[in-house]
Amino acid sequence: MKKTLIRNYAKLIARVGGNIRPGQRVVIAAETESAPFVTLLAEECYRLGAADVSVDWQCAALDKLASRFEAVRELGSVAPWEEARLAERAERLPVTIKLLSADPAGMQGADREKLTLAAMAKNAIVKPYADRMTNRHQWCVAAVPSVGWAKRLFPQERAGTAVEKLWQLILQVCRADGKDPLTDWMWHNRALRERCDKLNALHLRSLEFRGGNGTELRVGLIGQARFIAGKKTTAEGAPFNPNIPTEECFTTPKRGEAEGVVYSSKPLSYGGELIENFWLRFEGGRVVSCGAEKNAALLEKIVAMDEGAAYLGECALVPFDSPVNRTGVLFYNTLFDENACCHIALGRGYSNTIENFAQYGRDDFAAMGVNDSSVHVDLMIGTADMDVTGVTAAGERVPVFEGGTWSRALR
């Protein structure tokens, strides 16, 4: 892979994703295998004037060992120095960049019961600090290849060839393989914003999803919520792009207003394991039953992670002919697969979808119907034949998706 293209990708993440400004601190979270790219990314951050760049190194192989040998109490603990670091970051609000690269099934065979209990214990300590940062800092999630991930997609190829192919795919769907990715993203953000403007002009109060696989789901929407996409802003008005790539127009649904059943259209990679061919049934906004052909027990653990995990936190509209889906590749990575088709998310809702969100607090968001949880898990549900109907505040029924893509009125 040409180093020029990879460096342009690093520039894209730093400038469009995090939008780093002079004097800001930057925290990068990445797998150890990604060290060469992290170095390039850190350089780009410094060139933009970052005061400091630190890296939280991760290693899935070590995590799997820890899950095998450590007790739940140790796995779920947060050391005093770690909590002090969380408090410091909640105060300083660094730009946070997370690079995904781990093998989608790298934790297969780990003690899932132990990991779930540990995650619940750790989330109880970490979440208050994360809440303090919500809507106040810039962040971006992107991805770089690893051998394990690349071989998952291209098992017949040698490691080097598989990684090269994955690099090509990532740069392609992230709109980073052209001569000027920064300009390409300016136009992409503009197109997404214009689509959201059309959706918001409809003043929808619910969405109805229907697919030939059996999906029949109605989701209520919050009156004060808006569809947003692409570039976001902090409460102070600093722009950033939280996801590279992104193709979705999404909003936060109203807690307690979801009825029906939904079937998955793509596997879910969660915690290093795959959940395949799953379904969920909603009553009164809550998941009342669910199942899967593979890893049904893990899906049940997600739904039961905390009180809000069984409710919806996001509805996202993505045409089935999106650039990600047109590759014909299943990435086994939610960052990419959620941008291939329509999806919903269990757990935490996005308060920045609320109009004038900066003037409200947590209690206000809860009163409006924004769900809260320690988790946010995206579930891909879009199909080639999916229809989505919007219902307006006046009761008018408006086609939003027809046959898996935008209706004529919204193209």
146 and 217, same domain (yes or no): no
Burial 275-313 (b: 16+ CB within 10 A, else e): bebbbbbbeebbbeebebeebbebbebbbebbebbbbbb
Look at residue 181 and tell me if it is in a domain: no
49 and 132, same domain (yes or no): yes
| pLDDT confidence bin for 110, thresholds 50/70/90 | confident
Cβ neighbours, 10 Å, residue 362: 12
pLDDT at 366: 96
Look at residue 235 and tell me if it is in a domain: no
266 and 219, same domain (yes or no): yes
Beta bridge partners of 275: 268
The CATH number linked to 66 is 3.40.1830.10
318 and 363, same domain (yes or no): yes
Average pLDDT value for residue range 292-302: 95
338 and 212, same domain (yes or no): yes
Nearest to 209 by CA among 171, 252, 142, 263: 263
Look at residue 178 and tell me if it is in a domain: no
With tokens 């781990």, the residue in question is 102
Does the pLDDT value for residue 324 go beyond 90?
yes
With tokens 């992290």, the residue in question is 38
d(CA 46, CA 53): 8
pLDDT at 113: 87
123 and 216, same domain (yes or no): no
Handedness of CA 109, 112, 118, 123 (dihedral sign): positive
d(CA 132, CA 295): 34
Look at residue 193 and tell me if it is in a domain: no
- What is the tens place of the pLDDT at every residue in 141-161? 999 999 999 999 999 999 999
101 and 41, same domain (yes or no): yes
Does the pLDDT value for residue 109 go beyond 90?
no
Look at residue 395 and tell me if it is in a domain: yes
How many domains does the structure of the chain reveal?
2
Token code pair at residue 286: 């809550």
Does the pLDDT value for residue 1 go beyond 80?
no
Contact at 8 Å (CB) between 389 and 317? no
With tokens 């197109």, the residue in question is 191
Model pTM?
A: 0.94
300 and 248, same domain (yes or no): yes
Across the chain, mean pLDDT equals: 96
Average pLDDT value for residue range 216-233: 97
Residues in the chain: 411
> Which range marks the domain in which residue 112 is found?
3-173
Average pLDDT value for residue range 334-348: 96
215 and 274, same domain (yes or no): yes
pLDDT at 76: 95
C-alpha R_g of the chain: 20
Contact at 8 Å (CB) between 244 and 140? yes
Judging by DSSP bridges, how do beta strands 232-233 and 397-402 pair with one another? Answer: unpaired
- What is the tens place of the pLDDT at every residue in 17-36? 999 999 999 999 999 999 99
Of 152, 173, 194, the residue at which a domain comes to its end is 173
d(CA 258, CA 281): 9
Does the pLDDT value for residue 271 go beyond 90?
no
Judging by DSSP bridges, how do beta strands 216-221 and 397-402 pair with one another? Answer: unpaired
54 and 123, same domain (yes or no): yes
Helix (H, G, I), strand (E, B) or coil at 54: strand
Look at residue 126 and tell me if it is in a domain: yes
Peptide bond into 267 cis (omega under 30): no
d(CA 329, CA 165): 11
Look at residue 297 and tell me if it is in a domain: yes
Look at residue 237 and tell me if it is in a domain: no
13 and 113, same domain (yes or no): yes
| pLDDT confidence bin for 409, thresholds 50/70/90 | confident
326 and 398, same domain (yes or no): yes
